[in-house]
Structure 1
Amino acid sequence: MSKEFTFLQVFTIASTSNVIRKVEKQVAVMRLCKPSKDTKRRHFSLLSCHVSQISPLLDLDFILNSNAQSFTCESLESERDKMPLDPVGRRISCGKERATVRYVGHVSPYEGLWLGVEWDNPERGKHDGSHEGVQYFTCRNPKGGSFVRPQKVSFGVDFLTAVYLTYQTNAEEVLNEEIFISSKKLEWFVVEEKRFENLPSVMLYHRNVNGPGVAGDIRKTTPNVQWLDLSGSLLSTWKDVAAITEQLDKLEGLQLSVNRISLTSDPWAHRQAFSNLKLLALNNCDFTWLQILECAAMWPQLEDLSLENNNIRELQRPEGVLQTLKSLNLSCNPLMQESVSRLSSLPRLEWLNLSNTKLSIIQLEDATQASTTDVFPALKNLNLDHNNISEWSMVNELAKLPCLVKLSCRDNKLVSSDGNPKTVNQMIIAKLGHLLYLNNSEISFEERKGAELDYIKMFGEEWLKAGGADQPSTALICQHPRYQMLIEKYGAPDEGELKKPEPFALKNQLINITFVFPDDADREPISKKLPASMVVQKVKGLLHRLLRIPPADLRLTYTSHKVSGTEFPIDSDLKTLHFYSVEDGDQVLVRWS
């Protein structure tokens, strides 16, 4: 054989596809990584060995010429079209959609081979796996299935093929991109030589990785990877995931979000593959909490677990697993609130995200009457944003957590007697004496002192009626557990300092408002007297009649005559003007799209 043969012809002569893949990958490594002399010599030796298996007449220098590089890329891309011998249960991609193969065979009366797939997004499907009365496969969703031709889908590529394709196409962009796992930005040391063996992180988001490839190649090529992103992959089993991670001895962080990974029958068999793992993200993977506990034996050193937007409802007690966990994200799961306290058996849990989980209350199991609790002994940071919390007794429960110093409680239904959101924050600060941060803002000494003094005045009359300093009633202590402590700290309030509710009917209180139009200089301001109880939706209806602009297009803010230069948002149509503290003489700024 002479050098006149093209690289494509050389590969056509090859007898085994396995040898071809080895040659392709060794060529890609030498082309893409600019290896040192020692590394180049090693790859050259491997190439010589692989090529000799194809034909002893091939010239290795020829394979490494410029044409070889372009063919290598094309051949790597072509691997996506190969259907495995056992496709049922495998993951596939079709455009931007992902699915699991449930059936392979003929579909009467059509000719040719079909794949029956269950889509991750059931809206992409058409049926439940049946056609003309014949049930070919089943789906969880009655409209979650489809039949597609094999040539229309991709079964993906192995790990190193995805690495070569990703890092050759846009190496600078990938190597320099910011890395976020579980909402945390990861900082990396500078990699002076950007070679695969130096990579501390590999980001293969939606790169259709389907497995490890040739045994041992990952360990040889990317031995220093500490953080790996395989989100949106085509991995279908924990066995496939473990076959990749067991070759990455330094791996500490793994992003596996937006996958559908079937459970393993023996999690202990894969324990070594995740022995150093500290951070794991499984967001949007359709797991239940019980399934997570079944898998947890694989992660003996896990400290940070993110499970956002799964299928988690009831929480079972994690017995003997996840005992090293410090951070847990359960946001965007429809949790059964009575089961939340079962997480309290996690002895090292410091950060817990329960935002957007439809919670209205948390009852700490052993702290019904006590002022402190032994549950959640290490919890420092709690996120309760976007829930249905409306009872102040919930905040009183949180006061029993001995280490809680950070709380986020935005967009809930807690209200104060004056309807002011700022008063709500003051009451939270006053009730939680150990709190250092509220809603991601540090609580200053002055802010805490002001909140606690106002709290004393706000409920001073109740305190006096309940017995005052002599012996306050049990009911008062239950509603305001810290009140007596604050009295001892600042002293009892004078009767003239007490804040008494003003006897007025809110619905009858009219305020003067001036509507101004900052984006329309020719339009004159409009002044109106409106009830403070008027909801924003009706205010927009009024503006629609005045301006002939659809209410949905209107955007409102307001400025207070007491605070110059600051615009306050009015962003909920169902809240009242009083809720936003709009007062007599304020201006409402009206804009539209």
Structure 2
Amino acid sequence: MTTSIPPDAVGRRILCNGDYGTVLYVGSVPPTTGIWLGVEWDNHQRGKHNGSHEGIQYFKCRHPTGGSFVRPNKANFGVDFLSAVREKYGLNENEQDAENGTEISIVIGRKTVENIGFDSIKQKQKQALACAVSWPALEELYIESNDISHLERPVDVLHNLKWLDLSNNCLTDGNQLHLIADLPRLERLILSNNGISSINFPDVGFGYKTAMFPSLTHLILKGNRISEWSVINELDKLPKLQSLDCRNNPLMDTDKNKETVKQLLIAKIGQLKFLNKSQIFPVERKGAELDYRKKYGLECLKAGGNQDPSKNNPSEEFIAAHPRFQLLCEKYGFPEDGELKKEQPFSLKNQLLKLTFTCPDKPEQKPIEKKLPDSMTVQKVKGLLYRLLKIPGSELKLSYESSKMKGKEFELDNDLKPLQFYSVENGDCILVRW
């Protein structure tokens, strides 16, 4: 624990008696004396109030009982990245042999690695990284749960690092990631439970790929404080990102329909192949991107967009909010008038679809009209048809024809997906074959 308060304490992560929190206020709390830290706890059960005391609001919490005040000497603000490396891997900065430049050996597991002298390393932070110099072939580094709050740029070391675990630390400032963004071979970065709320790559604008994290394919951001879609837009700048895990972030609760949030994430990051440990199949990506066009087509028109490519010039604000919209329109075409979606309030009535079931290969079978929830899976639809037509579901093949795109047929080829996944809408026709 520390009695000193860092000058940038507000926004920093702390650890107090085993609980993690974020400092949102530093100052006095009358009628008491002395300085207090106003903290919002990750576990709201650790808190007592919403940031107010005796009618005065000192800070605001997302949960009504997620905050409390603690004395500075009870808070652990953590250590910097390089100090954690030194502590984790046993580098003793006062070791006489190291200071004299004498070669020593370090044993990791059952392997002994050669250790070069430290005489050329003078700065304290560089001494901490000297252990990395000793391991030129190091590929995996685990420094989770070390209360790291600041990173240092690793210079001339860790060139072969492929896996870095910084989970359960205090890296609330996403800009800290810029300091490790030049690691040339880093493929997997684990940043779970750090309190991160923003990430940005300012070296390029939207539609371009950043030079940062050139080899990063897997990014784990579970349990952070990400609530803005702008963060997801930034992640699309990563040139090789294929897998993202962003569960347990406020962003995942921005829509009552979890499938909608998933579709937006897929549509916003073009090269993603895995999301929250689930594979993204080509048909799923196509459905998400088509629906994204429909969802934001009206907004684009209001912002200066146009179905005529020669007149299509949406505002900078729209492009910043939806960087991939123009690219998707180039890929699929601008949505037609009949495809444009108007936002509906969430209710069961608005989620019921009036559908017509026809059997194109059995003209003697009369069409059947049914109202079904858009969350109903293809498998359950087949179960319903079994009861209506007495045809085993395993023999049924379903597709649908949009009421707005006559003559175009879309296959419903995944029994576990809901109707909304395929963008089935009110008035569409389900084609049944067996």
Report TM bin, short chain: 0.5 to 0.7
- CA distance in 2: counterparts of 1:128 and 1:173, whole angstroms: 48
Three-state SS of the structure 1 residue aligned to 2:185 is: coil
Three-state SS of the structure 1 residue aligned to 2:15 is: strand
Are residues 111 and 149 of structure 1, via their aligned partners in 2, closer, same or farther at CA, if it must alter by over 3 Å? Answer: same
Task: Judge conservation of contact 1:128–1:139 (CA < 8 Å) in 2.
Answer: yes
Three-state SS of the structure 1 residue aligned to 2:89 is: helix
Task: Judge conservation of contact 1:300–1:322 (CA < 8 Å) in 2.
Answer: no
Letter of the 1:325 partner, please give it.
L
Task: Judge conservation of contact 2:197–2:224 (CA < 8 Å) in 1.
Answer: no
Are residues 416 and 393 of structure 1, via their aligned partners in 2, closer, same or farther at CA, if it must alter by over 3 Å? Answer: closer
Three-state SS of the structure 2 residue aligned to 1:160 is: helix
Greater percentage in helix? 1
Are residues 114 and 393 of structure 1, via their aligned partners in 2, closer, same or farther at CA, if it must alter by over 3 Å? Answer: same
- CA distance in 1: counterparts of 2:395 and 2:181, whole angstroms: 45
- CA distance in 2: counterparts of 1:429 and 1:112, whole angstroms: 75
Q: Shift of residue 112 of structure 1? A: 2.1
Q: Shift of residue 167 of structure 1? A: 2.9
- CA distance in 1: counterparts of 2:267 and 2:144, whole angstroms: 32
Are residues 340 and 266 of structure 1, via their aligned partners in 2, closer, same or farther at CA, if it must alter by over 3 Å? Answer: closer
Task: Judge conservation of contact 1:125–1:145 (CA < 8 Å) in 2.
Answer: yes
Letter of the 2:45 partner, please give it.
E
2:169 is equivalent to residue 233 of structure 1 = yes
**Does 87-96 or 281-290 show the bigger shift?**
281-290
Rg bigger for which structure?
A: 1
Matches within 5 A, 1:286-325: 286-288=225-227, 290-311=229-250, 312=252, 313=255, 314-315=260-261, 322-325=269-272
- CA distance in 1: counterparts of 2:433 and 2:194, whole angstroms: 47
Q: Shift of residue 126 of structure 1? A: 0.7
Are residues 286 and 84 of structure 1, via their aligned partners in 2, closer, same or farther at CA, if it must alter by over 3 Å? Answer: closer
- CA distance in 2: counterparts of 1:279 and 1:145, whole angstroms: 33
- CA distance in 2: counterparts of 1:428 and 1:155, whole angstroms: 59
In structure 1, the residue matched to 2:273 is 326
1:107 to 29, 48, 66: 29
2:147 is equivalent to residue 147 of structure 1 = no
- CA distance in 1: counterparts of 2:159 and 2:179, whole angstroms: 14
2:170 is equivalent to residue 254 of structure 1 = no
In structure 1, the residue matched to 2:432 is 481
Task: Judge conservation of contact 2:172–2:197 (CA < 8 Å) in 1.
Answer: yes
In structure 2, the residue matched to 1:474 is none
In structure 2, the residue matched to 1:285 is 224
In structure 1, the residue matched to 2:85 is 163
TM-score by length of 2: 0.53
Three-state SS of the structure 2 residue aligned to 1:163 is: helix
- CA deviations on 1:2-40 (whole Å, 9 max, x unpaired) are xxxxxxxxxxxxxxxxxxxxxxxxxxxxxxxxxxxxxxx
- CA distance in 1: counterparts of 2:4 and 2:235, whole angstroms: 34
- CA deviations on 1:378-436 (whole Å, 9 max, x unpaired) are xxxxxxxxxx965547777xxxxxxxxxxxxxxxxx68979xxxxx9x84586489999
Three-state SS of the structure 2 residue aligned to 1:165 is: helix
Are residues 87 and 430 of structure 1, via their aligned partners in 2, closer, same or farther at CA, if it must alter by over 3 Å? Answer: same
Q: Shift of residue 235 of structure 1? A: 0.4
Q: Shift of residue 479 of structure 1? A: 6.3
- CA deviations on 1:287-327 (whole Å, 9 max, x unpaired) are 34624333324423211112223332354757995222222
Are residues 131 and 481 of structure 1, via their aligned partners in 2, closer, same or farther at CA, if it must alter by over 3 Å? Answer: same
Task: Judge conservation of contact 2:14–2:20 (CA < 8 Å) in 1.
Answer: yes
Task: Judge conservation of contact 2:185–2:214 (CA < 8 Å) in 1.
Answer: no
- CA distance in 2: counterparts of 1:221 and 1:81, whole angstroms: 34
In structure 2, the residue matched to 1:203 is 142
Q: Shift of residue 113 of structure 1? A: 1.9
Task: Judge conservation of contact 1:254–1:277 (CA < 8 Å) in 2.
Answer: yes
Task: Judge conservation of contact 1:429–1:435 (CA < 8 Å) in 2.
Answer: no
- CA deviations on 1:162-188 (whole Å, 9 max, x unpaired) are 22222339985799xxxxxxxxxxxxx
- CA distance in 2: counterparts of 1:150 and 1:276, whole angstroms: 40
Task: Judge conservation of contact 1:257–1:284 (CA < 8 Å) in 2.
Answer: yes
Three-state SS of the structure 2 residue aligned to 1:481 is: strand
In structure 1, the residue matched to 2:160 is 224
- CA distance in 2: counterparts of 1:416 and 1:435, whole angstroms: 14
Q: Shift of residue 146 of structure 1? A: 0.7
Are residues 225 and 107 of structure 1, via their aligned partners in 2, closer, same or farther at CA, if it must alter by over 3 Å? Answer: same
- CA distance in 2: counterparts of 1:282 and 1:228, whole angstroms: 13
Task: Judge conservation of contact 2:172–2:196 (CA < 8 Å) in 1.
Answer: yes
Three-state SS of the structure 2 residue aligned to 1:273 is: coil
Q: Shift of residue 95 of structure 1? A: 3.0
- CA deviations on 1:425-463 (whole Å, 9 max, x unpaired) are x84586489999999xxxxxxxxxxxxxxxxxxxxxxxx
TM-score by length of 1: 0.40
Number of aligned residue pairs: give it: 288
2:215 is equivalent to residue 276 of structure 1 = yes
Letter of the 2:219 partner, please give it.
L
- CA deviations on 1:235-261 (whole Å, 9 max, x unpaired) are 012111221333x22111111122321
2:3 is equivalent to residue 94 of structure 1 = no
Are residues 390 and 321 of structure 1, via their aligned partners in 2, closer, same or farther at CA, if it must alter by over 3 Å? Answer: closer
- CA distance in 1: counterparts of 2:380 and 2:249, whole angstroms: 25
Task: Judge conservation of contact 1:174–1:203 (CA < 8 Å) in 2.
Answer: no
- CA deviations on 1:136-155 (whole Å, 9 max, x unpaired) are 21212221111011111211
Are residues 88 and 310 of structure 1, via their aligned partners in 2, closer, same or farther at CA, if it must alter by over 3 Å? Answer: closer
- CA deviations on 1:179-208 (whole Å, 9 max, x unpaired) are xxxxxxxxxxxxxx9954322011222222
In structure 1, the residue matched to 2:55 is 133
Task: Judge conservation of contact 1:395–1:428 (CA < 8 Å) in 2.
Answer: no
Are residues 267 and 297 of structure 1, via their aligned partners in 2, closer, same or farther at CA, if it must alter by over 3 Å? Answer: farther
* CA RMSD, Structure 1 to Structure 2 (Å): 4.9
- CA distance in 2: counterparts of 1:120 and 1:198, whole angstroms: 37
- CA distance in 2: counterparts of 1:127 and 1:323, whole angstroms: 42
In structure 1, the residue matched to 2:198 is 263
> Structure 2: any 5+ residue segments left out of the alignment?
92-105, 112-131, 279-286, 294-323, 332-350, 361-373, 400-410, 417-428
Are residues 159 and 196 of structure 1, via their aligned partners in 2, closer, same or farther at CA, if it must alter by over 3 Å? Answer: farther
Letter of the 1:106 partner, please give it.
S
Three-state SS of the structure 2 residue aligned to 1:198 is: coil
- CA distance in 2: counterparts of 1:211 and 1:106, whole angstroms: 26
Task: Judge conservation of contact 1:114–1:149 (CA < 8 Å) in 2.
Answer: yes
**Does 106-115 or 261-270 show the bigger shift?**
261-270
- CA deviations on 1:107-132 (whole Å, 9 max, x unpaired) are 22222221111112222111111112
- CA distance in 1: counterparts of 2:381 and 2:9, whole angstroms: 53
Task: Judge conservation of contact 2:139–2:162 (CA < 8 Å) in 1.
Answer: yes
Three-state SS of the structure 1 residue aligned to 2:22 is: strand
In structure 1, the residue matched to 2:121 is none
